[in-house]
């Protein structure tokens, strides 16, 4: 297949930077973010001439965060660039997020002129060595004529297997030099515009064995991770679970694998849960779909308990047995694996559904009981505001096709536990690949660009917001209708809560912040600021934000009590306290 956006006849003299831009344009690349420098000037000039959507951002880490969120929501390749040295190394934290989360991103970074390298050039560093472990692949271009070939490869690697970030390192001389290119070099295969570009089916015998286990199980449960969304498998998983009456629990990144409002949804499992951990303990078969079973999902490797029968579906064979040894490994695309499992069950599906009806009915019964037990917090009248009350309001106001972006730390954990998606699909966008704070604002920018016209809320802490506050100007410049909800507790909240949990009341250090009115800060940026101190005002403030053009900062003053900052007891505390000798 050839790209319809470029002529393949004739030749054209162009710079290396223009060749890069033309390949991006051939792949119908979306918005690109970066901060320019001399090394990448030809790329910027080509973006101007070719009318590519390229935007200045105030920090290269944020550029990759924007690209990451754009890709998470759209499935398409996210794009970012940086100049040599600090521009490139500023990307490291965000690249780690995309790598661990399986997000398809392509980053172009400028490097030093090869004729002068290692002669103390300005901003020179061993950036290729620094970037290499933080990306799926780093491609160093050493010949200008290979620019189209290697840029095509970047998109191919980013979108196949488990998707991930690819960095293209381009020396200054190749970016600025010119070459007579054959226009046929700029023909691309459009399947690599989005992930997954290629899909593979698991082994048929293994599928049949897994189907037999499911057909015989009395209390099966599905554990859904972020791989469900990478595969675009949420509707397939939802249909599979409904056809069989199998409950579904999810990780933070797997939220939306089925709607949280579905009677079969057992909610979050792992470090924090509603009812899911108990269901997992009672189950006789666990079907893991696109989940790495890491520390948080397994509650520090205690859930599921040893000895459970496990069927594990994953696109990355190296994930099998890393945490728990599955009985059956289905190596392949999650969507195709679920389709094959469903087909293998065939006529047995109706009998399985009937047999599991009582087990499935347990989920809404227990969920209703859980809601009764926590109703006081969900509807809390506390001032400062209880975060549970804030998320209750978000659940009421955010449309089913809207998005909630969640920054790292307790914003993600609170929202992961209490936010309810109303549709199957990735409507919850946390940065749990690396769990860095500072994702909230750039994540909202990326989500809004990927889903124009949809409501985008983003939760961030005051610490996380302070890290990236300069890009409020970017959101304003782009005229994005986003609502940034600042959970303002005048602290590095997760740290303060953990210090309280591990060492006791009052024993915290380097965790408090000055009181800041972020609504006024927003107004200084030319945005709308709304400060909320009364829980009765939250819903109205959210609706006002939705009706307002441009970025809105909702500054929500929440509890200052470290005993109330976490949605539950952190599973690490018990392990730490066993060896704690500090008085």
Q: Which helix (H) or strand (E) holds 131?
A: helix 127-131
Q: E strands of 354-397, at which residues?
A: none
By the 10 Å C-beta count (0-12 exposed, 13-18 middle, 19+ buried), 442 is classed as buried
In the chain, the percentage of residues whose pLDDT exceeds 90 is: 93
| pLDDT greater at residue 277 or residue 119 | 277
Reported confidence tier of residue 575, pLDDT bands at 50, 70, 90: low
Residue 216 has pLDDT above 50, yes or no: yes
Phi, psi of 421 (to 5 degrees): -75, 150
In the chain, the percentage of residues whose pLDDT exceeds 70 is: 96
pLDDT single digits (tens) 7-25: 567 999 999 999 999 999 9
pLDDT of residue 571: 66
Q: Which residues, at least 6 apart from 332, have a Cβ–Cβ distance to it below 8 Å?
A: 199, 200, 201, 202, 313, 315
Kindly state the tokens that stand for 475.
């959101």
pTM > 0.85: yes
DSSP 8-state code for residue 406? E
What value does the mean pLDDT take over residues 194-206? 98
78: β partners: 105
Placement of tokens 């469900």 in the chain: 228
Mean pLDDT of the chain: 95
Which bin fits 224, alpha (ψ -120 to 50), beta or left (φ > 0)?
Answer: beta
Q: Are the C-beta atoms of 221 and 249 separated by less than 8 Å? A: yes
Domains delineated in the chain? 11-193 (3.40.50.970), 204-365 (3.40.50.1220), 379-578 (3.40.50.970)
DSSP symbols for 323-343: SS--SEEEES-HHHHHHHHHH
pLDDT of residue 572: 72
pLDDT of residue 9: 74
- Cis peptide bond upstream of 304, omega within 30: yes
pLDDT of residue 307: 94
Whats the size of the chain, residue-wise? 583
pLDDT of residue 122: 87
pLDDT of residue 574: 56
Phi, psi of 267 (to 5 degrees): 80, -165
pLDDT of residue 569: 67
């Amino acid at each position: 297949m050839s790209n319809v956006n470029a002529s393949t006849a004739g030749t054209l003299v162009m710079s290396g930077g223009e060749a890069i831009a033309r390949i991006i344009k051939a792949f119908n690349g979306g918005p690109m973010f970066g901060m320019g420098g001399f090394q990448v000037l030809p790329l910027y000039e080509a973006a101007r001439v070719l009318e590519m959507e390229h935007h200045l951002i105030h920090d290269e880490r944020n550029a990759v965060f924007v690209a990451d969120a754009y890709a998470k929501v759209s499935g398409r390749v996210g794009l970012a660039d940086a100049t040599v040295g600090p521009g490139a190394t500023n990307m490291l934290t965000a690249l780690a997020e995309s790598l661990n989360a399986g997000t398809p991103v392509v980053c172009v970074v400028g490097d030093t002129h090869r004729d002068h390298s290692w002669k103390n050039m300005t901003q020179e560093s061993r950036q290729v060595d620094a970037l290499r472990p933080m990306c799926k692949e780093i491609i160093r271009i050493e010949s200008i004529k290979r620019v189209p070939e290697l840029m095509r490869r970047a998109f191919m690697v980013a979108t196949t297997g488990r998707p991930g970030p690819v960095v293209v390192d381009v020396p200054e001389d190749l970016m600025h030099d010119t070459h007579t290119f054959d226009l046929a070099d700029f023909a691309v295969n459009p399947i690599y515009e989005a992930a997954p570009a290629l899909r593979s089916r698991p082994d048929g015998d293994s599928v049949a064995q897994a189907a037999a286990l499911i057909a015989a199980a009395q209390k099966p449960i599905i554990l859904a991770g972020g791989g469900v969304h990478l595969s675009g498998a949420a509707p397939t998983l939802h249909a599979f679970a409904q056809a069989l009456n199998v409950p579904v629990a999810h990780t933070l990144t797997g939220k939306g694998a089925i709607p949280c409002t579905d009677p079969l949804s057992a909610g979050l499992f792992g470090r924090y849960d509603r009812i899911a951990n108990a269901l997992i303990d009672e189950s006789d078969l666990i079907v893991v779909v696109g989940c790495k079973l890491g520390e948080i999902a397994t509650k520090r490797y205690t859930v599921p308990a040893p000895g459970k029968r496990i069927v594990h579906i994953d696109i990355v064979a190296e994930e099998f047995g890393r945490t728990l040894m599955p009985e059956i490994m289905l190596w392949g695309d999650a969507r195709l694996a679920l389709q094959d499992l469903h087909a293998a069950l065939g006529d047995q599906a109706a009998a399985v559904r009937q047999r599991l009806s009582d087990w499935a009915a347990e989920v809404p019964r227990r969920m209703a009981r859980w809601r009764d037990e926590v109703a006081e917090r969900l509807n809390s009248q506390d001032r400062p505001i209880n975060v549970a009350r804030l998320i209750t309001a978000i659940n009421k106001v955010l449309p089913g096709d809207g998005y909630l972006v969640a920054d790292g730390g307790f914003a993600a954990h609170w929202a992961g536990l209490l936010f309810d998606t109303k549709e199957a699909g990735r409507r919850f966008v946390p940065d749990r690949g690396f769990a860095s704070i500072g994702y909230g604002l750039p994540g909202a920018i990326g989500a809004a660009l990927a889903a124009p016209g949809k409501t985008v809320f983003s939760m961030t802490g005051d610490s996380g917001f302070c890290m990236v506050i300069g890009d409020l100007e970017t959101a304003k410049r782009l005229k994005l209708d986003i609502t940034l909800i600042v959970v303002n507790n005048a602290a590095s909240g997760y740290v303060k809560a953990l210090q309280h949990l591990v060492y006791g009341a009052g024993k915290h250090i380097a965790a408090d912040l000055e009181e800041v009115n972020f609504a006024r800060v927003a107004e200084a940026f030319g945005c709308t600021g709304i400060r909320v101190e009364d829980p009765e005002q939250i819903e109205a403030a959210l609706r006002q934000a939705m009706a307002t053009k441009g970025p809105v900062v909702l500054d929500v003053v929440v509890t200052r009590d470290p005993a109330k900052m976490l949605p539950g007891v952190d599973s690490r505390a018990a392990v730490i306290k066993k060896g704690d000798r500090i008085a």
